[in-house]
Amino acid sequence: MCDDRGVVTAEIVREYVGNMRALLTTNAARYGLLVERQVQFALLPKVAGPRHALEPALWELLALLLDGHETAPPALDDAAFTKAAEAAKAGKGLASPGPARFPKAAAAVLVALTELREIGVYPKPKLMQAG
């Protein structure tokens, strides 16, 4: 799930989203727990890159985590991001008022997306972490 440097790029995140949509279509109950764990503990710790590359891929991932595999992600703009952030913080879906499909993973992706939007790169450079 990483490139040859051990980094998860935007391309790998998009590949992951596509693969998870396909798996969840075949058996959502069986693969649901897999999504929560993989995103939090395998995917996000290795994600790295600039905002212009990562933001669209992480947005697709966040939409999948909030609404499940059957809903296409909305266009990303500041209003949509704000709505998604509020939904993720409340454990709710983005497209519907019900619960988020993968709330813990969605919360983790929201943290990454917020940092990416604020700093322009993810993860935060080590010099910024110290201060």
Structural contact between residues 49 and 121, judged by C-beta atoms closer than 8 angstroms: yes
Within a domain: 40: yes
- Tokens 């669209």 label which residue? 56
**Count of domains forming the chain:** 1
**Pairing state between β 121-122 and 49-50:** antiparallel
| Average confidence (pLDDT) over 34-48 | 94
Structural contact between residues 83 and 97, judged by C-beta atoms closer than 8 angstroms: no
pLDDT at 97: 81
Structural contact between residues 46 and 73, judged by C-beta atoms closer than 8 angstroms: no
113 lies in which domain range?
A: 10-130
* Number of residues assigned to the chain: 131
Band (pLDDT 50/70/90 cuts) for residue 4 is low
Instruction: State pTM to two decimals.
Output: 0.92
Distances (CA, A) of 36 to 33, 120, 126: 5, 25, 27
Cα dihedral 12/66/105/77 (nearest 10): 60
Band (pLDDT 50/70/90 cuts) for residue 43 is very high
Closest to 48 measured CA to CA, from 114, 116, 127, 105: 116
Within a domain: 44: yes
Within a domain: 2: no
Q: What is the pLDDT of residues 54-94, one digit of tens each?
A: 999 999 999 999 999 999 999 999 999 999 999 999 999 99
